[in-house]
Amino acid sequence: MSDLVVKAAYASVAEEDGQVFVGFVDARDESYALFRQAKAGGPVWFEVNDEDFGAEDAVESAAIGPGGLAITLRAAKAGRFGYARQVVIRLKACDNAEAALAQLAAMGIAIAG
């Protein structure tokens, strides 16, 4: 199992064209994790660093802990993420993290911990 890590400096929540977006961005090296869902609900798209490294309904589970937000990916979707099974979003110095986490919960992503 390989991991991808995003050291988030800030998080954002936005609505555009009937979609809700939640992003976590590392401003230094431009890495990011992005969640997207239709405003009316439905499956959540998740991508890391590039649209090519993303998939719909890829999140198996999410947990918050001392290392940040750990996203476990569905095994069937791992190929879309370079065969990574987990993405860790470090939140230690992340502005607006609480609002982003609240929006993820509203999108149906249950965050354990």
**pLDDT given at position 35:** 98
**pLDDT given at position 27:** 82
**100 is in which domain, residue-wise?**
2-112
Model confidence pLDDT, tens digit, residues 81-97: 988 999 999 999 899 99
Mean pLDDT, residues 91-111: 95
**CA torsion sign, 74 to 5 to 69 to 103?**
negative
- For the chain, how many structural domains are there in total? 1
- Cβ contact 89:101 at 8 Å: no
Q: Say yes or no to pLDDT of 58 above 90.
A: yes
- Taking alpha carbons only, the member of 85, 112, 91 closest to residue 11 is 91
Mean pLDDT, residues 29-49: 95
CA distance 65 to 49: 22
Confidence of residue 1 (pLDDT cuts 50, 70, 90): very low
CA distance 101 to 109: 9
Q: Say yes or no to pLDDT of 53 above 90.
A: yes
**pLDDT given at position 67:** 87
Residue 54 CA neighbour count, 13 Å, CB half: 16
- Cβ contact 111:103 at 8 Å: no
Cβ burial of 9 (10 Å; 0-12, 13-18, 19+) is: middle
Percent of the chain with pLDDT over 90: 85
